Structure 1
Amino acid sequence: MQLLRAIGFFRGNILIFSATIGAGIFVSPKGVLKYSSLNVAVSLSIWAVCAVLTLISALSHAELGTTFPRSGAQYYFLKRSLGSSVAFLSLWIKLFTHPLRLATESLLLSTYTIQPFYAGCPAPELPKRCLALAILWSLGLVNTRGVRTVTWFQTISTLAKMTVLCFISLTGIVLLAIGEKENVARFENALDAELPDVSRIAEAFLQGLFAYSGTSILISIAGEIKNPGENIPKSLITVLPIVAVIYLLVNVSYLAVLTPKEIISADAVAVTWTDKIIPSMQWVISFGISTSILSNMCCTVLSASRMIYTASQEGQLPSIFSMLNNHSCPSMAVGQIIILTSIVIITSDLINLIRYSVLAIWFLRGLHMIGLLKLRYQEPSLPRPYKVPLPFVFGSIAISLFLILTPLIQAPKLEHIYGLVFICSGLLCYWIHVHLNQHSVCFFKITCSLQLLFNVSPPEDHDERISTSKKDLKSFCK
């Protein structure tokens, strides 16, 4: 029993497309334009710069997955470079941000699906939540079938959403090529608009970078990538420029049809765009949006479960989460992230988590780059199949500092204190975790019972270290 290296170059490209292109391109244009002070030129420039920043950060993080080609590479790298407490802190943050993001996307998807049946009035909360739970658990079942099943599902969904995005892009190009005065006027007067201040530009970047989040999917599953030293950086260089071009063309198409004020007042920009162009195709666009969100959620479940799997192997979570089913999938880790998300769906309202999820992502990326520099200094002879240039590393650190510190300095809010308290509570939980006895006989009995109930067993991967507690567990169960 072990995780299978079943993802090659083509499937890796599909996973990056699926993880990157989600709800962001249908939601973020509104936020980017709003914080750009309705300045079309600044808005499009931010989209282009976000693509460059994402590529720099993604290539910098590729060194993590190629140096330590194992699932949950980011977590393992932090533990190796900055210590167990920092690794646990990253685990603590992601155990909250992943379920919150999945819950938001589930509720958003269920709203898009149900709303047409309630024309003229908002859809009731109970059907939305029930459908969101059904969607979430269906994706959990797909993930428990193994990474090969996930990639087949992602291939189909990626083709569907790419078709919709290409249609939107080509329509915008045709409208501008025809040269109707109404469509071209917004771009002719773009430079005359008001310029935003620094804090608003930082907020606009947070909105734009949300649409590019998900590029670290291959690093999260590096233990299931064929020849990771070559395929991870090659896939990033291949896919991200294509995504950037599509995003720019889609935004140009939005602006060719809608005014900036119409865009920031729209709940779903793509649906409002369709109503103006071809109202009869609204169902097609809604299907594309739903497919994008669904495939993005599937990638989030895949990535989060591998993080839990690795943390369990390293002894910072119960060992049951590192056990595999007959499809070589850590099904208990998948179940854990699904249960946490279900609790959020049942108890919370649909909220906008773009800003805080991106801040958490870039906070962790800054820690990764600091760890990378430390490991290069301490272990210069460590085999590195792919070595990112140092300017990219320092650039990623600078981006993280800009995105995190600018809102704190320019416009401090009470929410920032909550975030600091949340991080400190993670360190407190780590202290409790370290000082508690994790190896009681009662704990082993519960683990063995769950192992028999769900038909899972410990992995026997010679590339990954089996902790002492896991050896004890094997002997106890025997």
Structure 2
Amino acid sequence: MTKQNYRYKRVIGAWTMLFSAVSAIIGSGWLFSSYYSSQMAGPAAVISWVIASILIVFIALPFAEISSLLPLPGGSSHLPNITHGILVSVVFSWISWLTLAVLPAIEVQAVLQYASYFFPWLSSNPNDISTSLSLPGYGVALGLLFAFSIANIYSLRLVMRFNNAIAIWKIIIPVLAGLTLIILSFHAENFHQTAGFMPAGWQGVFGAIATGGIIFAFNGFKNVVELAGEAKNPNTTIPFALIGSILVCLAIYLLLQVAFIGAVPQAALAHGWALISFAKASSPLVTLLAMTGSVFILGVLYVDTLVAPLGAGLMYMTTSSRTLQAMSRNGQMPQVLMKVNSSGVPVTAILLNFALGFVFFFPFPGWKLMVDFISSLMAFSYVLGPVCLLALRYQMSEQKRPFKLPFGKLWSFWALYICTMVGYWTGWHVIFKLVFFIAFAVVFYLVFRFFSKEAQKVPLDIKSSLWMFIYFGGLTIVSYLGSFGGGTGQLKFGSDFIVLAILTVVSLCVATKYRVSDEEVKERAAAILGDG
């Protein structure tokens, strides 16, 4: 592997990093999560948000330590390759790539669902929030995704400027929307009538975290992780920016959630929270704001539903193409995806992501079905944090860490357990698709390796990947027997939590015991980071 110098200057201050993360976190999730989490948990959705924010902190901090130790570009591909070898890297690179590649499609879906309030021809049924796009709607989606691709190919600098320009806008508008609903259309009785505060019990609270769009809404926290290697005073800047951005966004999301619950008309709750029903439900916040008669806020919100998701979609298109390029550089994909044009842009990778993003509309019609699947991918992409954290504590024990977590073993267990639970809560109907996807990724790589002499030079590190097969195999069985998302229900609620805790301990122990040798890790890290 060619040595490259990826050492960064530590120039990013705490407040800059915090607001960068806040901007990254607030995407299309705020437009739909209040509706879906209310549908699943009722008024207790406010508890779901608080729990999710705590879980995200546990998941994020291991990444912060690793990123400050090894500031790797395309870290989702390089990191597992360093600590556990090529097979683990292949699986988690594919998970990260697919997540990033289809996020632009999710943002486009959000834009078009909200646009269908005024342009019903975009949707096959504007009154149904789970409906698919119409034929003209698919045409518009294709055009928007193509525009993302062209913008990334010809003007990356413009993309970055556009994203920076809308950062403050993305924060102000959700707050205005929430306050408007509370001031003009708040019914406190919604919190205790209609089957009480927690109509679906704790199962509904946990389910809302995974498939109500809540975990998806917090995904942007990884912006801090990616910039950890460039942080001034990382011991204080990283936890400040990470925890601070999550708390700021939690406050915004709680405001929106409380406002939404209080603004739902009593007639819409005639059949309970699980069957919330009102006209033009495909754009829930716009519909509720329209009922208040606040034309100005409605207009501003409508503009925001177009601007904010499109800005996020542009950035995701940029990031996903770089991830695919890194996979090609690591010998996991054909080398044609590594090629760049005269401006240094990976055109082939961008066009492949464009095609994948558009195809994603068809098996997952509607924002929620897309988010259900992506939330499971996100949860499992986070598995790398605790697993690699613990391995690196042995593999690079003498290396000074700019930011170091206390109680590394205990933190790794809780972080991995949380990732496992969040993934499990998405349900069997999502997990079995994920397992199929992982199997496809492994088979694709093995076939590619068979025909690529360059790929054959890299050892498979089968022993180091053993933990991964134990982990996903065990999770698949528990998900099938469990009670979430179409499981058989043979493993009762509560017992499944205990079984998954045992699976977490076993997987973490095996991953640590059969890690790549300390000497090999140092060689691999040096080859990527250079001598700096």
TM-score, L = length of structure 2: 0.71
- SS of 2:216's equivalent? helix
**Bigger mean CA offset, 304-313 vs 7-16:** 7-16
Is 1:78–1:368's contact at 8 Å kept on the other side of the alignment?
Answer: no
Q: Corresponding residue for 2:404?
A: 387
Whether 2:422 is the aligned partner of 1:403: answer yes
1:277 to 292, 296, 320: 292
- The alpha-carbon deviation at position 91 of structure 1 amounts to 2.1
**Bigger mean CA offset, 69-78 vs 102-111:** 102-111
CA–CA distance in structure 1, aligned partners of residues 392 and 153 of structure 2: 35
CA–CA distance in structure 1, aligned partners of residues 336 and 240 of structure 2: 35
User: CA separation of 1:314/1:118 partners in 2, compared to 1, >3 Å: closer, same or farther?
Assistant: closer
Q: Corresponding residue for 1:158?
A: 167
Whether 2:81 is the aligned partner of 1:76: answer no
User: CA separation of 1:418/1:466 partners in 2, compared to 1, >3 Å: closer, same or farther?
Assistant: closer
- The alpha-carbon deviation at position 242 of structure 1 amounts to 0.9
- The alpha-carbon deviation at position 358 of structure 1 amounts to 1.0
Counterparts of 1:113-262 in structure 2, within 5 Å, are 113=115, 116-118=118-120, 125-144=134-153, 148-172=157-181, 174=183, 183-187=187-191, 192-206=196-210, 207=212, 208-220=214-226, 225=230, 229=234, 232-259=238-265, 261=268
- The alpha-carbon deviation at position 379 of structure 1 amounts to 2.2
User: CA separation of 1:232/1:321 partners in 2, compared to 1, >3 Å: closer, same or farther?
Assistant: farther
2:329 to 307, 313, 317: 313
String of CA shifts for 1:63-87, please: whole Å, max 9, x gaps: 2322221221122111111211011
- The percent of aligned pairs where both chains have the same amino acid is 20
Q: Corresponding residue for 1:61?
A: 63
User: CA separation of 1:139/1:406 partners in 2, compared to 1, >3 Å: closer, same or farther?
Assistant: closer
CA–CA distance in structure 2, aligned partners of residues 199 and 48 of structure 1: 15
Is 1:72–1:221's contact at 8 Å kept on the other side of the alignment?
Answer: no
- SS of 1:216's equivalent? helix
CA–CA distance in structure 2, aligned partners of residues 185 and 418 of structure 1: 40
CA–CA distance in structure 2, aligned partners of residues 348 and 203 of structure 1: 19
Q: Corresponding residue for 1:16?
A: 21
AA at the equivalent of 1:246: I
AA at the equivalent of 2:217: A
Q: How many equivalent pairs are there? A: 432
CA–CA distance in structure 2, aligned partners of residues 228 and 431 of structure 1: 43
String of CA shifts for 1:292-341, please: whole Å, max 9, x gaps: 21122123223322322322222222344445555555444333322322
AA at the equivalent of 1:300: Y
CA–CA distance in structure 1, aligned partners of residues 388 and 147 of structure 2: 37
Q: Corresponding residue for 1:422?
A: 437
CA–CA distance in structure 2, aligned partners of residues 346 and 430 of structure 1: 25
Is 2:7–2:71's contact at 8 Å kept on the other side of the alignment?
Answer: no
Is 2:234–2:403's contact at 8 Å kept on the other side of the alignment?
Answer: yes
Is 2:231–2:238's contact at 8 Å kept on the other side of the alignment?
Answer: no
Is 1:301–1:334's contact at 8 Å kept on the other side of the alignment?
Answer: yes
CA–CA distance in structure 1, aligned partners of residues 5 and 145 of structure 2: 26
AA at the equivalent of 1:28: S
String of CA shifts for 1:227-248, please: whole Å, max 9, x gaps: 5956655432332211111111
Is 1:56–1:392's contact at 8 Å kept on the other side of the alignment?
Answer: yes
String of CA shifts for 1:382-429, please: whole Å, max 9, x gaps: 342222333443322121222234566xxx55x543432322222222
- The alpha-carbon deviation at position 271 of structure 1 amounts to 0.8
Is 2:18–2:240's contact at 8 Å kept on the other side of the alignment?
Answer: no
User: CA separation of 1:374/1:466 partners in 2, compared to 1, >3 Å: closer, same or farther?
Assistant: closer
Q: Corresponding residue for 1:34?
A: 39
1:341 to 354, 357, 361: 357
User: CA separation of 1:270/1:325 partners in 2, compared to 1, >3 Å: closer, same or farther?
Assistant: same
Q: Corresponding residue for 1:458?
A: none
User: CA separation of 1:342/1:421 partners in 2, compared to 1, >3 Å: closer, same or farther?
Assistant: closer
String of CA shifts for 1:366-394, please: whole Å, max 9, x gaps: 23311221221232123422223334433
User: CA separation of 1:122/1:401 partners in 2, compared to 1, >3 Å: closer, same or farther?
Assistant: closer
Counterparts of 1:295-310 in structure 2, within 5 Å, are 295-310=311-326
String of CA shifts for 1:252-293, please: whole Å, max 9, x gaps: 222232248458333322112211213524332221122221
- SS of 2:78's equivalent? helix
Is 1:69–1:228's contact at 8 Å kept on the other side of the alignment?
Answer: no
CA–CA distance in structure 1, aligned partners of residues 283 and 116 of structure 2: 15
Q: Corresponding residue for 2:388?
A: 371
User: CA separation of 1:188/1:129 partners in 2, compared to 1, >3 Å: closer, same or farther?
Assistant: closer
CA–CA distance in structure 2, aligned partners of residues 234 and 143 of structure 1: 32
Q: Corresponding residue for 2:371?
A: 354
AA at the equivalent of 2:147: S
Is 1:14–1:154's contact at 8 Å kept on the other side of the alignment?
Answer: no
AA at the equivalent of 2:32: V
* Higher relative contact order (CA closer than 8 Å, sequence separation 6+): 1
AA at the equivalent of 2:26: I
Is 1:18–1:299's contact at 8 Å kept on the other side of the alignment?
Answer: no
Whether 2:91 is the aligned partner of 1:86: answer no
CA–CA distance in structure 2, aligned partners of residues 2 and 141 of structure 1: 30
Is 1:146–1:328's contact at 8 Å kept on the other side of the alignment?
Answer: no
User: CA separation of 1:347/1:422 partners in 2, compared to 1, >3 Å: closer, same or farther?
Assistant: closer
CA–CA distance in structure 1, aligned partners of residues 150 and 402 of structure 2: 35
String of CA shifts for 1:179-233, please: whole Å, max 9, x gaps: xxx633334669944453454333111122121122213445768x565956655
Q: Corresponding residue for 2:450?
A: 435
CA–CA distance in structure 1, aligned partners of residues 254 and 118 of structure 2: 29
